[in-house]
Structure formats: C-alpha cells, structure tokens
Amino acid sequence: DHFGQVDIVINNAGILRDKSFHKMSDDDWDLVYQVHLQGAFKVSRAAFPYMRDQAYGRFVMTTSAAGIYGNFGQANYSAAKLALHGLSQTIAIEGRSKNINSNTIGPVAASRMMGTVMTDDAMELLKPECVSPLVAWLSHETCNATGELFEVGAGWMSQLRWQRSQGAYFDPKGFSIDDVANAWDIVKDFSDPIYPSSIGLTFKAIQGNPHLNDDI
C-alpha cells in the first residue's frame, strides 16, 4: 500500500552455521533452512499474487557456489541454496504466462558473512558492485531470461545449465546390477550430451526406450 506496487523481489538473506555433516545439529540445519529457503518462499509467495494481477514481475534468487557444487562443512547451506534454484525454476514456469521472470545467481562477493572466512585482500577483489549489474539486468523489464542460473564475481559472469548423457536403456520388465555395471560407461558417456530444460524432456527420453510399448 505504501509504495503502490511490487515489481521486483531479490531474495538475498543469508546466514552461516558451518559444521561438518556428522557434527551438525538440528538447530544448525533448521536455522539456515529458515533464513535462506523459508524466508525466500514467504517473501516470494506474498509478492507473487500482486505480480500476477499486474502481469509483470521479476524475481532474483541468490544461491552460491556451495549450493551448486557442495562444500565441506556446509551441508545445511548447500542444501538450502540449491533448493532456491528449484524454487526459482518453478516460479519461472508458473509465472511465464503473466510476464513474471525468475532467475538465480551464484555470486562470489564480499559481505559480513564472507568476511569470517576470507582475507581482506580477497574481500576487496570481490566487491558487491561486481554482482549488482547482473541483478539489475535480470530485474530489468527488457530482460527476457527466466528459469536460468548464473555465476558472477570479480568481473566474471557465466551461465550454467544442466547437461545429460544420452544414457543407456534397459528392459523395464527386469534388469540386474550386472546389467547396470556392464552399461556403466554408456550411462556416463558425455561425448554427445543433451541439455535438458524441462521435466517434459525427461519423459521424452524415457519414451525413447526401445523396450517400451506405446503406453508411456
């Protein structure tokens, strides 16, 4: 009511409770989940109906390299951060018809939280000003990117995407661990990769199984 409308939501709240997995408590897990993922969910859900009504909106979720790749001592943080990308992709799908875009960034940038684990020299190189132009672009009305993931930091920027091997097919009526072992090199062969972008392409791959009939 105070500002008139909501056009952009940037989910950037964060907290660290780093511990190796076998030492992590429920409280360590829950607090990180609540701040990173639950917080983003509640803010985004509150804004989404207004964006639908005005047929316009932009979301930017903040993940991290730890969320994308995993990192020692950060099981809670990594899980919550990767979950944000799943949330973003679904918002992108559900918002597409209403001109609502949602993307995820994985920044490497100096912050009070990062200052606990990085040197002063590294912090100077990783200025937030090297991240904010990407956030501004993804929030801009002329940017049509949606459901995408980007890494950014220290003057470098890159898009990430899923890559899948062609895979191997087995008879769904029955196959064994030996069959899997014998086809393992084929399962892991990325010489001719596919770049899937939706759940529909997963079902398309399954439908290509020569052992199947037309029921799927």
Active site residues: 77
Mean pLDDT over each residue of the chain, to the nearest integer: 94
Report the CATH number at residue 60: 3.40.50.720
Other C-beta atoms lying within 10 Å of the C-beta of residue 96: 13
* Whole-structure pTM value: 0.90
Domain for residue 19, yes or no? yes
* 26 and 106 housed in the same domain: yes
Enclosing domain of residue 124: 8-160
User: Tell me: the pLDDT tens digits for 44-89?
Assistant: 999 999 999 999 999 999 999 999 999 999 999 999 999 999 999 9
What CA–CA distance (Å, rounded) separates 145 from 198? 15
My answer on whether 101 and 199 are in the same domain is no
Domain co-membership, 53 together with 115: yes
What would the pLDDT profile of 17-49 be if each residue is shown by its tens digit? 999 999 999 999 999 999 999 999 999 999 999
**pLDDT, tens digit, 9 for 90 and up, residues 145-164:** 999 999 999 999 999 999 99
61 and 44 co-located in one domain? yes
Residue 85 sits in the same domain as residue 25: yes
The CATH number linked to 199 is: 1.10.287.4290
Q: Are residues 53 and 108 in the same domain?
A: yes
Q: Give the total number of structural domains in the chain.
A: 2
* pLDDT tens readout for residues 108-129: 877 666 666 677 777 777 888 9
The answer for residues whose C-beta is within 8 angstroms of residue 39's C-beta and 6 or more apart is: 11, 13
Residues 174 and 199 in one domain: yes
